[in-house]
Structure 1
């Protein structure tokens, strides 16, 4: 198996509804998020120079507007820095954890719906950040399921000896890194991701993964994780 490299980005800050599990919110980047995306391109450029690596011509992002905008801004800025990227492909594989029929409801609304349905038990305390809990609703995923989906995309979405860009969502990327052996179970809860800052990883010829560059954000104690 040839070696491949991957740069993954959490989208920039966006106009997120409060008290709503981020999931598939359709809102655009904020002005801050736009600036974060442009700054992220320079950070990745510097990583590539330091590691003596070149970008793959195709980049990937989720279907959420904030991820597509982040990727589009990154690519434009990277082209200005001399990199050749010819195509941006959207994929459901990079989406954040899906809540199925509860998509874009508030936490209170989701819990109210489950309480009103005699087929379901109340969700456990802290269910939103529970890696293994899956809402008992059609189309829902657990965070671990979302991470496995993203990990599979990363395993098959690279180009030999090039760096492929992937723009998606923080929680699904963190859980993907657990599946790839880059984070421990405890690390998932301990770390978050900075908006629009790259992490650079390598898929080795023996199938293992190695972290090359980028910094995790240390989550404040008891803070709610966001995508």
Structure 2
């Protein structure tokens, strides 16, 4: 029987962000609340590992966004304080949130103005920010589904190399949700119905051959009228 691997997927903590900017690749760090959330996440992970009788992999994986790195750093520090061996952090662009390419960090209004001024393309459709399949027709942009496929491939690679241990992965809510859809853990409808709590782990189990299970940790149920932006 193939040895199973376990991954705790975590959305970064609360962070500073520009208002009305749909890009989640903003370069800002955690708030005071977010720093505390990262510390608490270390405790939650220790409890999770103990209850599942798992040993942590020595490397924590995270995206290159500052808030993800800070969350991973806070988790690592707390786990080390509890006696767990965490050697280093591994940053990767594969865990980033959906990219808007050349429109990165523009406001919604600025993006609309750019599109209206470009004779090659129509204006973005209403609700485009949360449309899983829509991709801005701009250099370097990707859809949420494409971002999810990227993250899913990264999670599978980590799982394949981390057999028998619990790997910690810190990323971003929307790309993780779409990744879980690609991995067969969420239906298409659930992508919009669910969100992720800041710095609260979801435990996934991989047993090979694209077989994934959600073992522990709770999704955040999104209010029915709330637009799925994270």
TM-score, normalised by the number of residues in structure 2: 0.96
**Alignment partner for residue 202 of structure 1, among 200, 205, 208?**
205
Residues 1:188 and 2:172 aligned together = no
2:57 is paired with a residue whose SS is coil
SS at match of 1:157: helix
> 1:169-180, aligned counterparts within 5 Å?
169-180=172-183
Report the equivalent of 1:153: 154
1:220 is displaced (CA, Å) by: 1.5
Map residues 1-227 of structure 1 onto 2, 5 A cutoff: 2-158=3-159, 159-227=162-230
Q: Given that residues 16 and 22 in structure 1 are in contact (C-alpha distance below 8 angstroms), is that contact kept between their aligned partners in structure 2?
A: no
* Aligned residues between the structures: 227
1:47-90 CA-to-partner distances (Å, cap 9, x unmatched) read: 11111111101111100000000000000001111211101010
Q: CA deviation at 1:214?
A: 0.6
- The CA deviation at 1:222 is 2.3
Structure 1: give runs of 5+ residues left out of the alignment: none
Which runs of 4 or more aligned residues in structure 1 lie more than 2 Å from their structure 2 counterparts after TM superposition? 224-227
What CA distance in whole angstroms lies between the structure 2 residues aligned with 1:148 and 1:221?
26
Q: CA RMSD in A?
A: 1.0
SS at match of 2:56: coil
User: In structure 2, how many angstroms separate the alpha carbons of the residues matched to 1:148 and 1:220?
Assistant: 26
Q: Secondary structure at the match of 1:63?
A: coil
* Cα shift at 1:22: 3.5
